[in-house]
Amino acid sequence: MTHDTFVDLRSDTVTKPTPGMRQAIADAVVGDDVYGEDPTVNALEAYVAELLGHEAGLFCPTGSMTNMLGVRTLVGPGQELLCDALAPVVRAELGGHAVLGQASTRTWHADARRPGRLDAEEALAMAVPDAGPYMVSTAAFAVENTHNFGGGTVQRIEELRALRAGADKMGIAVHLDGARLWNAHVATGVPLAEYGAVADTVSVCLSKGLGAPVGSVLVGSDERIAAARVWRKRYGGGMRQVGILAAACRYALDHQLERLADDHARARRLAAAVAEVRPGLVDTDAVETNIVVLDLAEAGLAAADVAAAARESGVLLSVLGPRRLRLVTHLDVDDDACEHAADVLTKVLS
C-alpha cells in the first residue's frame, strides 16, 4: 500500500496540488525574486498583506521561517517571547527562535479542558516589559489561531483584542502564528483583517488546508518586512523563480479557501462517529475546525495501538502522545474517504 491508497488523516500538510493548481503553476509568470523581480511573488505578497490589513508581505518556504522572521523583528537578543506551552514556536521549530533569533522564551499553560484557548488576562499577567538589568524583559507575545495541538481551537476575537490592548499599554508586540488562520476565518466569519489587526506580525501557511505544496507568508509593516527580507536571505531563504510556488498559493486562496468549511464538517462527522462508540474520548462541541484530538486516557487505550489498528484498515492517524491521537481533515479527504475513516474508527475503538 502506498500513502495514496490510505485515508491520510495525519495532517493537512499531506495534500497534493489539484489539476487546476498544477495548471496555475505551469502558467506562472516568473522572475528572480531575490532581485524583487518575480511578479507572481510580488502580487501574492501584496495580496496577502491586504487580506490581513498589513502594509507588506514576505513569501517564505515554511511557516517555521515566517514565525522565526516575524518573532525576530519583534524580540531582540536575550529578550523574551511569551507563548503557551503547546505552541509550535516552542515545540515544533526545533529551538530555532533560540538558536537563530537568540530569543528567551517563557510559556503559560494552556487550559487543560480547552487546550490552546487564549486567556488574555493570564498571558498579560506574565509580562515584564522593562525589567532593567536584573530580569529578562518581555518583548512579544505569540498566539496561535487556530491552535494546532490544542485541537484546531479558534481563539475568540474578543480575547485576541484584549491581548492586543493590554500589550499596547505595556509596549509589548504581538506575533500571530496563523498557520491555520484561514480555518478560523471560515469557521467564524470574522474577517481576516480583524484577525490581522490584533498583531504586529502574522504568519500564514498556504501549505496546510489550503493545499499549496509549499509556502507561507509573513505580513507586517513596511519597515519590519524589509528587515525580515534581509534575514530571510541570511537564513538561506532567498528563492529565485519562485513564482511557480506563489502561483500555487494564489490559486489556493482563490479556489480552495471557502471549501475549508467541508473539512470542518468532516471533522465533526469523525468526532461524532468516535463519540458514538466511545463518548469519553472526544468532546464533539470542541471540534471547531479541521482537527480532532482524541484523549484515550479514560479508555485506557494506547495511541500507538489504535493508530496501528487503523493503519491495518487503511486509515492513518497522528500519534501526539502515549494517549493522544490527532485526526486532521483536508482537501484530499472527500466524503467517501471520511465515511471509510468513520467506519474504521468505529470498528477499532469498539
Ligand X SMILES: *Cc1c(COP(=O)(O)O)cnc(C)c1O
* Chain residues in the site for ligand X (CB under 6 A): 62-64, 67, 88, 144, 148, 177, 179, 205, 207, 216
Whole-angstrom Cα distance, residue 12 to residue 266? 13
Coil, strand, or helix at residue 116? coil
In the complex, what is the shortest distance from the CB of residue 300 to ligand X, in angstroms, rounded to a whole number? Answer: 29
Of the pair 142, 349, the CB lying nearest ligand X is at 142
In the complex, what is the shortest distance from the CB of residue 236 to ligand X, in angstroms, rounded to a whole number? Answer: 14
In the complex, what is the shortest distance from the CB of residue 87 to ligand X, in angstroms, rounded to a whole number? Answer: 8
Q: CA neighbours within 13 Å on the CB side: how many for 299?
A: 23
In the complex, what is the shortest distance from the CB of residue 339 to ligand X, in angstroms, rounded to a whole number? Answer: 26
Q: Where are the alpha helices (DSSP H) in 55-202?
A: 63-74, 88-91, 96-99, 120-126, 157-170, 181-188, 192-196
Of the pair 45, 177, the CB lying nearest ligand X is at 177
Nearest to 90 by CA among 68, 111, 75: 68
CA dihedral 86, 136, 157, 62 (to 10 degrees): -60
Of the pair 144, 159, the CB lying nearest ligand X is at 144
Q: Which helix (H) or strand (E) holds 269?
A: helix 260-277
Of the pair 212, 342, the CB lying nearest ligand X is at 212
Which amino acid, 130?
Answer: D
Of the pair 138, 148, the CB lying nearest ligand X is at 148
What cell numbers appear for 2 in the block? 502506498
What cell numbers appear for 180 in the block? 491555520
Strands 201-205 and 173-178, by their bridges, are parallel
In the complex, what is the shortest distance from the CB of residue 85 to ligand X, in angstroms, rounded to a whole number? Answer: 14
Nearest to 195 by CA among 145, 149, 151, 242: 145
Nearest to 22 by CA among 260, 259, 247: 247
Whole-angstrom Cα distance, residue 254 to residue 239? 23
In the complex, what is the shortest distance from the CB of residue 68 to ligand X, in angstroms, rounded to a whole number? Answer: 9
Quickly tell me which residue has 488574555 as its cell: 120
Of the pair 87, 349, the CB lying nearest ligand X is at 87
In the complex, what is the shortest distance from the CB of residue 195 to ligand X, in angstroms, rounded to a whole number? Answer: 14
Whole-angstrom Cα distance, residue 20 to residue 92? 32
Of the pair 40, 153, the CB lying nearest ligand X is at 153
Of the pair 63, 166, the CB lying nearest ligand X is at 63
Of all residues in the shown chain, the one whose CB is closest to ligand X is 63
Of the pair 177, 200, the CB lying nearest ligand X is at 177
In the complex, what is the shortest distance from the CB of residue 128 to ligand X, in angstroms, rounded to a whole number? Answer: 25
User: Please, are residues 244 and 30 in contact by the beta-carbon 8 Å criterion?
Assistant: yes
In the complex, what is the shortest distance from the CB of residue 271 to ligand X, in angstroms, rounded to a whole number? Answer: 19
User: Please, are residues 147 and 155 in contact by the beta-carbon 8 Å criterion?
Assistant: yes
Apex CA 293: angle with CA 301 and CA 123, to 5°? 125
